[in-house]
Structure 1
Amino acid sequence: MLHKKWVLSVALVASLLFMSGCSSTADPESAPASSSTAQEPGQEEASGPTPDISGVPEIVATVNGEEITKADFTRIYEGQFAQVMQQAQLSGQELDQDQLRKQTTEGLVNTELLIQQASKKKIFATSKDLDKALLDVAKSNDMDSKEFLAAMDGQGVDEDAVRAQLKTQLEVERLISKEVGDFTPSEKDVKAAYEVVKDQYKGKGTAETKAPKVPSYKEIKPELEQQLKLQKEGAAVKEYTAVLRKDAKVEMKM
C-alpha cells in the first residue's frame, strides 16, 4: 500500500485548510504511538458510516471558468472521510458529512485558486524538479522510481498523470512558500507545545489507573514541529486564498 505522503496537490492543500487550528498531538490517544492504526481511504469499518456522495453534481464548482468535477470531489472527499471519521471517533463526536462535503468543496476551490495564481506568477516546475520529486516520493514508500510508477499504474494512474500531479503540487507549494512565507516554528514554540502534551497525558490518569507514559521531547519533537508548521501555514493560506477569492469568479454548484 502506498504511503499517505503520496497525495494530489488538491488533497495536500485541502488538508492544510481542514487542519488549521487542530492539535492532534496534544491528545495521547492520537499521539505517534497510535498513528499506525490510522485507516487508509476506503478501509472504514463495515458497521460504520461510509462516504456519502449522493446528490453531488457532475460539476461541483467553477473557478474563473475552470471546472471542479464530481470525480475531483469524490477522490478528495473519500480520502478526507477516513481521516476525519477516525478523529470523530477518538473525540466521541458524530461526523457531520454535510459539513465535510462543504469543507471539501471549499478546499478544492481554494486549491484551484492557488493553482491559477501559480501560473499567473510564472511558477513552474522543470523536468529535473519532477525527477527529484518522483524519487523523493518513491523513497518515502521504500521504492525506487520505477517501482513507484509501476505501483501507481496498478492503481490506474499512469506515469504522465503522476508527473502532472507532482508538477501541480510542486508549483502550489512554491507559490505558498513565496507568497505566504516560511513557518518553521521556534524551539520555544515547540517546547511550549510539548508542555501541553505532557499536561494532556497527565489528565488521562485516574484514581485507579496511571496516566500513560509521556513520549520524550526528542521522540515527539519532529511531529510537534510539523504540526505547528501546518497550523500556522494553514491559517496563512486561508487568508491568502480569501484575498484571491475577492477578485475571482467562483460559482458553487452544491
Structure 2
Amino acid sequence: MAMTHLMRTRTALGLVAATSLLVLSACGGSGDSSSDAEKDSPASDSPSASAEAGSEGGPDLDAIPDVVAEVNGEQVTKEEFVPIYEAAFAQAASQAQMGGAAPDEEQLRKQTADDLVDTELLAQEAEARGLEASDEDIDAELADLAEQNGLGSADELLDAVEQQGVTEEQARGQVEMQVLVEQLVADEDGPIEPTDKELRAIYDRAKEQQAQAGQSGQGGAQQIPPFAQARDQLVEQATDQRIGKVATALVEDLRADADITVNL
C-alpha cells in the first residue's frame, strides 16, 4: 500500500498507545458525556467547520498557513493539521474546566506541528525500508481495537468513530500508521517480546501507585487484579512502552539529518 498524507492524521508518538485517538473516539461514541461529544465532534473534520468552532470558543485557526510544515520536500497541510490541533485543544480545554490551566494555543500549535513532522519522518523511513501495512494487517488491528473496546467487530468500531466525526478512511489511515510504526520498531530493534521480569516491574509499580492513592485518601480507585489475570494487559502496556522508546529514539536520529521547515 502506498504511503499517503492520510497517515499523518496520527501523531507520531501518540502511536505508542495503540491508536489512542481512535480508541478515545470509540469510547466517546458510546457515552453520554457532552465533553466527549464536543471533543470528537464532526466539526473537526474540515478547516472550514473548525473555523466556525473557533468563533464559538474553540481554537483560533486564522493564523494557520495552508502549508504548516515541509519535511524533506513533503508538505504537512492545514487540512491535516487542524483535526489533530482541535483534538489537543479540546483535551486541554476539558482539563482547564477541571481546574487546570487554560489552553496555551501557541504551545499546542507548536506541539501539534512537531508531532506531525515526527509522523511524516516515520512514514518516510518506513517507505525507505520497504515496509508496508497490508489491508489484512489493518483489518486485524481494527479487530483487536474493537475487542479492546468491548465491541463485537471492526465494523462496530468504525461505526462508533464515524459518529464522532472520524471517517472510515481516516480511521484506517490511523491504524495503517500504527502498524507501520510497529514494523519499524521490530526492524530497528528486533521482535517485541516482554519478559516476565518487565511485566512484574510494571505490575509492582501499579500496585505501589494504588497503595499511595489509598494513603492519600483518594477513594474509588479501581482494584488491580492478580498478576495472572492482568498479564495480557501488562504485555500490552510493556509493548507500548517499548514501541514508544524505540520510536522516540528513531525520530531523534531522523530529525538530525532531515530538512524541516515549520511555517507557524
Taking structure 2 as the reference length, the TM-score comes to 0.64
CA deviations on 1:186-231 (whole Å, 9 max, x unpaired) are 3223323333333333333469x58656422346554444334333
Q: Distance in 2 between matches of 1:232 and 1:38?
A: 34
1:40 paired with 2:49, answer no
The residue aligned with 1:215 is 224
Higher helix share: 2
Say whether residues 1:67 and 2:78 are aligned partners. no
Identity of aligned residues (%): 32
Q: Partner letter of residue 203 of structure 1?
A: Q
Structure 2: state its 5+ residue gaps.
Answer: 1-5, 18-30, 41-56
- Among 150, 170, 181, the alignment partner of 2:179 is 170
**Cα shift at 1:137:** 5.2
Q: By how many angstroms is 1:96 displaced?
A: 3.6
SS of residue matched to 1:61 = strand
Q: Deviations over 1:96-152 (max 9, x none)?
A: 443332222111101101111111111123344445455555666635566666677
Equivalent residues in 2 for 1:232-243 (5 A)? 232-243=242-253
* Contact preservation (8 Å) 2:71, 2:261: yes
- 1:111 equivalent in alignment to 2:119: yes
SS of structure 2 residue aligned to 1:203:
helix
C-alpha contact (below 8 Å) 1:202/1:212 kept by paired residues:
no
3-state SS of paired residue (1:185): coil
Extract unaligned runs of 5+ from structure 1: 1-6, 20-35
Is 1:229 the counterpart of 2:225 in the alignment? no
Q: 1:236 Cα deviation (Å)?
A: 2.0
Aligned partner of residue 42 in structure 1, secondary structure = helix
1:202 aligns with 2:202: no
In structure 2, do the counterparts of structure 1 residues 77 and 227 end up closer, same or farther at CA, with 3 Å as the change threshold?
farther
Asked whether the equivalents of residues 11 and 119 of structure 2 are also in contact (C-alpha less than 8 Å), the reply is: no
2:200 aligns with 191
Aligned counterparts of 1:210 and 1:152: Cα–Cα separation in 2: 33
Of 169-178 and 211-220, the range deviating more from structure 2:
211-220
The Cα shift of 1:55 comes to 2.2
CA gap of 1:165–1:198, structure 2 versus 1, over 3 A, is closer
Amino acid of the structure 2 residue aligned with 1:13 = A
Per-residue CA distance 1:47-96 (angstroms, 9 max, x = gap): xx744545222211011111111121111122334455566777955554
Q: Which of the residues 113, 124, 130 maps onto 1:122?
A: 130
Residue aligned with 2:130, SS: coil
Query: In structure 2, do the counterparts of structure 1 residues 127 and 188 end up closer, same or farther at CA, with 3 Å as the change threshold?
Result: closer
Q: What is the Cα deviation at residue 14 of structure 1?
A: 3.5
- TM-aligned CA distance change 1:50 to 1:177, over 3 Å: farther
Partner of 2:10: 11
* Preserved contact between residue 70 and residue 262 of structure 2 (Cα < 8 Å): yes
Which stretch has the larger CA shift, 129-138 or 52-61? Answer: 129-138
TM-score relative to the length of structure 1? 0.66
Letter of the structure 2 residue corresponding to residue 118 of structure 1? A
Partners of 1:187 and 1:252 lie apart in 2 by 43
Q: Residues of 2 paired with 1:164 and 1:76: CA distance? A: 14
* Matched AA of 1:55: A
Aligned pair count? 227
Number of the residue aligned with 1:33: none
Pair 237,118 (structure 1): closer, same or farther in 2 beyond 3 Å: same
